[in-house]
Amino acid sequence: MEKFEKLTGVAAPLDMINVDTDMIIPKQFLKTIKRSGLGVNLFDEMRYLSDGSENPDFVLNKPAYRNAEILVAGDNFGCGSSREHAPWAILDFGIRCVIAPSFADIFFNNCFKNGILPIPLPQEQVDILMKDAEKGENARMTVDLEKQEITTSDGEVIPFEVDSFRKHCLLNGLDDIGLTLEKGAAIDSFEAGAGQSRPWV
C-alpha cells in the first residue's frame, strides 16, 4: 500500500448527501476481484449519459477536476452496501483523500485499509473546504497527515483528528497484510518452535 504523508492537489466538490456505495461503483462492476481498472466506472451513473458519453455537468468530467486527488463531499458518504470496490474505484481514479461531515462505518474502515484518508469534519468546516474546492484547478488544497492539518488555497488551516493506529498505518503504507509481515520474524520463530514441540502437526 502506498504511504500517505502529505498530499497537495486539486479538490473536487461533490455537494451531495447520502452518496451510497452503489452510486460510487454500481453493482454491475463488482464481478472483478482486482483493485485496478475500476476508476473509469467511478460514479458511473452520474458520470455518463445513457449513450455512454460523458455527462459534461458532472464534476469529475469538468477539465478543472479530471485530475482531482481530494474529494469534498456531503454528509453520510459511503452509506449502503459494504462493497470494498467503492474505495478501490476512488483510489484507482486517483483520489487519496475524502472529506465529509460523516461517513458510513464500513466504508470509513475500508478507506484506511486501501490507503485512502477519510476525514470527518463539522459541517461548517466542510462548507469552507467545499467553497475552496469550487474555485477549480488553481485552488490546490494540502492535507498533511503528520500534522493533521488541511490548508486551503487561501492559507486557512483546519485541524483534523485521526486515530493514532490508523495514522501510523497510512504514514507507513501498512495494510492488513503489511501489518502481519511486520511480525514475520516472530511468526517464523513460532512456527519453528511449534514444529519441534509438535512434530506430528
1, part of any domain: no
The better pLDDT of the pair 13, 184 is held by 13
Residue 140: CATH number of its domain: 3.20.19.10
End-to-end CA distance of the chain: 34
Give the model confidence (pLDDT) of 120-176 as tens digits. Answer: 999 999 999 999 999 998 889 999 999 999 999 999 999 999 999 999 999 999 976
d(CA 85, CA 104): 15
Q: What is the pLDDT of residue 182?
A: 61
Portion of the chain with pLDDT greater than 90, in percent: 81
Domain that holds residue 108: 6-197
In sign, the C-alpha dihedral spanning 49, 52, 56, 57 is: positive
Q: pTM here?
A: 0.89
pLDDT at 187 over 90: no
Rounded Cα–Cα distance for residues 24 and 129 (Å):
21
Q: Does some domain include residue 158?
A: yes
Task: Tell whether the model's pLDDT for residue 199 goes beyond 90.
Answer: no
pLDDT of 190 over the 80 cut = no
**Each residue's pLDDT tens digit, 64-106:** 999 999 999 999 999 999 899 999 999 999 999 999 999 999 9
Three-state SS for 109? helix
Share of the chain above pLDDT 70, in %: 90
Distance CA 35, CA 50 (A): 26
Q: How many domains does the chain have?
A: 1
Give the whole-angstrom CA distance, residue 173 versus residue 175.
7
Task: Answer yes or no: is 182 within a domain.
Answer: yes
